[in-house]
Structure formats: C-alpha cells, structure tokens
Structure 1
Amino acid sequence: MSDYAVYTGAITQSDHQPAIDGQHHAVWAISNATRIDARGIQPHTWVIVDGTTIVATGTSTAAFTSACACYHIPEQAIINAQGSTITPGYIDIHAHGACGASFDDGVEGILTARHGHMIHGTTRQVLSLITNPIDTMCANLQTVHSLMAQHPDILGSHLEGPFLAFARKGAHDPNCLIDPTPDVIARLLDAANGSLRQITIAAEREHGLEAIRTLAQHGVVPALGHCDADYDMAKRAYDAGARIMTHMFNAMNGIAHREPGPIPATLEDPRITIELINDGFHVANPVLRMALAAAPHRIAFVTDAMAATCCPDGAYKLGALDVRVQDGHARLVSNGAIAGSTLLLEVAVQRAIFELGFAAPLAVEAATLTPARALGLDRANAITTAPLGLLAPGYAADILMQDEQWQVQRVWCNGAKIDTQ
C-alpha cells in the first residue's frame, strides 16, 4: 500500500482513508510486525485499521487471513512489516514548538511546529503556550481551539503560566507573572472554550489552591510546577485537584533531608502523573533512572521543546525573550536560564532504552499510554474519536514503525499515512 492521505501540516478529519490504485479504501492492515506497547512485546502481530480506528489485532496467520476476508482488504492494502517494531503514536503533553516556530505564533506557526514533531512520531500533541499578557494568552487559546475540529492531532492547550513563582520562573517573562484570581481564571476558561487540557500553577501563590479546585471542576488538569511549594503545600495542591507535576526536578525546590519539598510528595501520591524531560541535560541520567524506578507507570516523557527543535544552533525566541542554542541546549541570553529543550519524544524513547537501560515497553508507555491517561485520553472521550495509547481494538489508528535503533520509519495518525520525507 503506497498511496495514503499525506500529512501537509496537520491531519484533517477527511485524511484517514488511504488511496489504493486511485480508489479510497477505509480498511488496511499491517502484518508480520512486532508490537510493543504498555502491555509488553508481542511478535508476529497483525493489525487491521478501519477508517481512523484499529478494529482487530492478533498473531495467528489463519485468523489474519479470515479477518482480511471479513473486512474485504485487498492484497495491495496489506503492509508486510517484515518483523519491524510497531508502537502506538507518541503523545507529547508539554511542548512549545519546533522547526523555527512556536505554538504561540498563530496558525502557520502551529502547523509548522507540528510538522516537525509529527514526522518524528509524535502523532498527538498538547500545545504549550508560554507566559504572555493575558490578552495575548486568550488570543492564543482561541487560535488553538479554532484548529482542533479539523486537526485531531492537536489535543488542545497547556498554559505554562502566568501563575508561576517569580523565583522559579525559568524562561518566563517576569513582567507577566500574576496571581490566579477568579476573574483571570474565568477569562482563560472562556477563551479556551473547552480546549484547555492542563495548566501549570504555583499552588502557593495567592488564590492558588482555589484556582486548582476551579480548574479541576471545569475539566482542566492542574499541574504543579514552577513553584516554591514545600512538601505540605504540594500535598494540599494534590488534594485540591492537581494531578500532574510539570517537568519534575526543574523549576522547583529540590529534595533536602529535613526539607523534602514537593518531589517526595509527588512520588508518594499514586494519583499524580510525573512529567520528565529525558534529555540528560535537564535531569541527569542517574536521577532519571531513580525517578523511573520510584514511580513506575506514572512517568510521562515530555519534550518542553521550543522553536529550535529540529534546527541548528543559533539565535531563537521564546515568547518575547531572546534564546541562544548551543550544542542543542537552549538558554536565555539575559541570564543563562534553561529555555526549554530541543528534544523529540523519538529521542526520549531511544535514550530510555539504550542509555537508561529500561525495557522497551516501559519506555514506550512513558511516551504513549501514561500521557494519554494523564488527560483521560486512554478511554472514550469527547476530545478524540477513539482512546489513545495502545495498539488494540477500539483505539485510534496512531501507529509508528521503527527500525532496530528505534528511529521512526513510518507514521500513521488517525489512520492516515504521514509523509516523513
């Protein structure tokens, strides 16, 4: 099967039907693959896709022949994986851009940045918006919302700010940091119109716990981060409804033996999904291994990727702030603070397997099922047409084919083949 609907900036709802010999067929299949997802490794796997959804899987050759007949799949619509690994598409719930563009840069910027992540296997993405004046943040939320109906690879927005601790602001504009007062929360919720997935918040700010409760009641997942919260405040934030820790270890108090800070509170609370930037720069490998071992099945790899992702070293912008990228590491020109990353989830999975020594299913889980579960996307929902995170019947047809080095070779999103060239 050689001619599918091809990615040209973002998947549209009509793109899911692959073209075969000039005709559109809703049903196609992959055979002779090694499936790796959060459930484990299964060789000799086959998968059948009908439209945007996986409808059948198995390992028996006889069952595959029967299923192909049942779904009327022509021979040319069967892809022989020749033993290659297939995984669910990667899901990034915290990234700011790529390919020289940011998700704050309007429609063109969003589609450009999504292209960079999509061709490396991130089939779904929450678009993280940087701290800006509230009017700008509201406008950016509206832009993301306007794209979602026709671009199901865009899962919604994540606001990283403006409710951050000044002392833990990282690369955020200090002039735009404010308290999460009820009126500002209401404005942001109204602008997002149901598309705001998560918001990073320093719970210790005035109105912080109240804001967390309000956001959770409106279906937004509050994330504790960029904070000066101590252990007790972190526990209060989680009891109020926060369910994610934004890039653990970065932009927060560390662990001290008499002042444990927010990290132990997070590790001991099974309700919390933990974001980790697995690039070896934001967090050193020994600490990454410690975190992955301490909170199994709760680690979500995120990139925190900024505009320089997929680009050479040089000068870039993060919001209104100047950034210099050297050796792939982004820092503010003004004070040297780390300014996001140039990481791809493809690389995060490779690092987990080859550098950190983790089993492939655990590495894949951290880039697929765990981030999906953090936002409730691992089950039937109003955001996606099917659950995300597994290669199983009823789940979205987001599929990656990898080589032995875990380089993404082929990508399907929502049933559509992506042109990765």
Structure 2
Amino acid sequence: MSPRGSSARWVAHSARLLDGTGAPALEDAWLVTEGGRVVALGSGVGWREHTRGSGGAEVLDAAGRWLVPGFVDVHRHGGGGRSHEEGPDAVLAAALAHRAHGTTAGVVSFVADDVDVLAEHLSGVADLVEAGGAGGLVLGSHLEGPFLAHARRGAHDPAKLTDPTPAAVRHLLAAARGTLRQVTLDPQRAGADEALRLFTGAGTAVAVGHTEASCEQAAGAFDAGARLLTHAFNAMPGIHHRAPGPVVAALDDERVVLEVILDGHHVHPRAAALLLTAAPGRVALITDAMAAAAVPPGGPSRYRLGGLEVVLEAPAAAGAPPRAVLAGGDTIAGSALTLDVALRLGAAAGIPLEALVRAATSTPARAVGAAGGGGAAARGVLAPGARADVVVLGEDLAVVEVRTAGGAG
C-alpha cells in the first residue's frame, strides 16, 4: 500500500531540528505540518498556538529527538528484495522498503541494457510518476547505463554498453516523457558531446561517471553542462598528484554535485569527510542500493543486478551493511545500504551531522531538480511551504518515525 499524505495538522515539539540547509541544529524546536506542507517552525513554546482551533492537532513530544527532512536518494537500483528491472510493482516495493529507513523521495536507477529495454523501463516509471509517484516517493528515473566505458563498467554487463547516438537519446527521452531525472555518461564515448546537449536540453541532469576521463576531459563535460559526478572515486581514475582525475575536476567546479556511497566499502569515511569539507553543499549521499538493501537480517545472500548475479559478503565494520560483489569475483555491485545507515556511519567517523543531513536531503534534491519552484513544494528541507516529508531520529540516529507529505502511513 502506498503511503498517503495527510491534510491533518501535525505538531512536533521539544526536538532538535536540522533543516537540511547545513545550518546548526535548532534546539527546543517545534514544527507544524498541514495540508501536506510545512506550515511553521520555531523554538520554545510557540507550538502551543498551533494545537488550538477546529479539529485540533496530532501532537508529538519529540523529547529531544532529531527532526530532519525526508532523505532524497537520487541513485538506487532496488531494495526490499526487489530489483527495479522487475517492473513497476518492484519499483514501488523498493521505494516503500527504503521509506521505512527515512527515504521519502527516490530516483529509480537502471543498469545498462538494450536501448529498447531501457525505454520500456523509463515508460513504466513515467506511468508511476504521472499516477502520483506512490505518494511522491518516486521522482523519476536515472540511466546509469549504457553509455559507459568498458574499462570502468563495474557491475554493468559489457555486452550492453554502447555509444549514445542521437537516435538512441531521443528514443529514451521520448519514452521517459519528462521524467528522466539523470543519466550517467562517459564523456569519452563517441557522440557524448551531442548526447550531453540533447539530455541537458530536455532538462535531464547529466552525470560524469564510469569513465577513464582525465581531469581536463571531465572539466570539459562540466563546462558543456554536466552537473553531477556519479559515485565519486568509484569507476573512475583516482586522485593522483600528476593526474588529478574527475574528482578534482568536480571539486573545482562550484556547479557540480558529487555523489558518494558512504557504506564502509565503496569509500573510506575519511575520504567522504574530505569531500564534504572541500565541497560544502555539493556532496550527495546516495545508496546505489540493489535488491539486498532494506532486507531484514537472515534474508537471501544472492541477488540479481540486471542480468548479473550478486553475492553478499559479511561487513568488515560494525554497523556497515554487507558488501555486495559480482558472483565469482571481487567487483563491488551496488550496495545493501540505506541512507539512515550512511548517516550513522558518517557520524561515527566524526563528520558533522548537519553536513550529513544536508548531503542526504537538500543537495540531492537540488541536483535532480526537486528543490521546488513552479508551484512544486521543495524537497529536502524543513521550511514553511516545503513538502512535509519529515523523519524523526533517535539519539542513536535510528529512524523512529517517517512522515510523507504530513502522513505517517
């Protein structure tokens, strides 16, 4: 069952509130939602005024717990035991599984496949979005493939990789009907320049990723309109003192958002902390989650990612999810991560919570055009007029309650 928003008034008080902008926590905070949006917030006893009047209000004494915006995951392949390639029902099941971990909006990622198959996937997601996106949980699609470098393909089927011809790009955009939020593109692929122009002209955010591109080549793609770096450090050259690579190009460009998978396997927490310090407000925590994410303990140890088999290995660190690798090898294949776990791992590494929350909320929302405007309520922030997606976290940063557009169920 899809969660529905609520028009009823909800008042939370005596909380510690992080609004998603990177600002310090508001102590003794209160928040009021009604009609699916945030109505007011403040600190002290002003919340009492909002409990009076016709109909009353549902009141939560947060008792010092955290109030944060709902998480926005702009790169995820599945969850709850379901892969997005299985179809719309699986997309909804995965979205609901991640919602229980605080993610109130997500982009549906697909691995490399034949262009016609991907067009069918995009059309199915467009149908979901046009029907309400499961109460707003589904924002649109992300094509992580097929326009990737063979040498940096990661867990993508090499037989499905191809060049982005204008015909292929137009076919995919037509199938998505305005719901293709982002696409990962290797700027060294033949036709990449024209593809970047076509995608960005259609309002799709282009991400540089799965590439051997140099720092200069990545910078050229950013100058041409690319605005994201797909899972920084992974599936690309690293930072070398004589060859700084795409990560440094992204750090140098204030227009670019860098995705990071903070699961204890893809990127060391101190490397993630370095990015958050060097590019404040420009790092987006993502899960890159496949079907194994948000599966209760004791679940299966083998899954599918596209046409490839994935095996889970025991986590190396306490609190980290299992490591997902391609069967018979050591190639990391997505993750079993949820964004609440990413926050806890980051906080345990000493990264300030306000920076982590910003990276899980307003920054990814902005990166894929979900920051509000044109009559749409902003995602990823707690401010008057913003969509009332709210997560209550305990002192240990475990999810206590999740509200989507003001509704709890």
Say which of 215, 219, 239 aligns to 1:255: 239
Say which of 149, 169, 185 aligns to 1:185: 169
Alignment TM-score, normalising by the size of structure 2:
0.93
SS in 1 for 2:25: strand
Say which of 363, 367, 372 aligns to 2:365: 372
1:18-417 superposed matches below 5 A: 26-37=8-19, 38-61=22-45, 63-69=46-52, 72=54, 74=56, 77-148=58-129, 149-150=131-132, 151=134, 152-311=136-295, 312=299, 314-327=301-314, 328-354=322-348, 356-381=349-374, 385-417=376-408
Residue deviations 1:279-335 (CA, integer Å, cap 9, x gap): 121112232222222211111000000011133351111011111111111111144
Query: How far has the Cα of 1:402 moved from its partner?
Result: 0.8
How far apart, CA to CA, are the structure 1 residues paired with 2:126 and 2:24?
35
How far apart, CA to CA, are the structure 2 residues paired with 1:300 and 1:78?
32
CA contact (8 A) 2:39 2:385 kept: yes
Query: How far has the Cα of 1:416 moved from its partner?
Result: 1.2
SS in 2 for 1:16: coil
SS in 1 for 2:359: helix
Residue deviations 1:132-154 (CA, integer Å, cap 9, x gap): 11111011101111111322110
Residue deviations 1:14-70 (CA, integer Å, cap 9, x gap): x222xxxxxxx6222212221123322011211111121011111241x3233333x
CA contact (8 A) 2:80 2:294 kept: yes
Query: Quick one: which amino acid aligns to residue 341 of structure 2?
Result: V
1:16 aligns with 2:5: yes
Query: Quick one: which amino acid aligns to residue 292 of structure 1?
Result: L
How far apart, CA to CA, are the structure 2 residues paired with 1:100 and 1:78?
35
CA contact (8 A) 2:276 2:355 kept: no
CA contact (8 A) 1:197 1:221 kept: yes
CA contact (8 A) 1:28 1:73 kept: no
How far apart, CA to CA, are the structure 1 residues paired with 2:48 and 2:312?
52
Identity of aligned residues (%): 39
Residue deviations 1:61-116 (CA, integer Å, cap 9, x gap): 1x3233333x64515x2222122111000110001011211111112211221121
Query: Quick one: which amino acid aligns to residue 405 of structure 1?
Result: D
Query: How far has the Cα of 1:376 moved from its partner?
Result: 2.5
How far apart, CA to CA, are the structure 1 residues paired with 2:382 and 2:140?
23
How far apart, CA to CA, are the structure 2 residues paired with 1:88 and 1:121?
9
Query: How far has the Cα of 1:379 moved from its partner?
Result: 2.7
CA contact (8 A) 1:54 1:393 kept: yes
Q: 1:161 to 1:301 in 2, by over 3 A?
A: same
Query: How far has the Cα of 1:349 moved from its partner?
Result: 0.7
Larger mean Cα displacement after TM superposition, 288-297 or 361-370: 288-297
Q: 1:58 to 1:251 in 2, by over 3 A?
A: same
**Runs (5+) with no aligned partner, structure 2:** 315-321
Alignment TM-score, normalising by the size of structure 1:
0.90
SS in 2 for 1:371: helix
Q: How many residues align?
A: 394
How far apart, CA to CA, are the structure 2 residues paired with 1:262 and 1:235?
7
Query: Quick one: which amino acid aligns to residue 347 of structure 1?
Result: V
How far apart, CA to CA, are the structure 2 residues paired with 1:401 and 1:206?
47
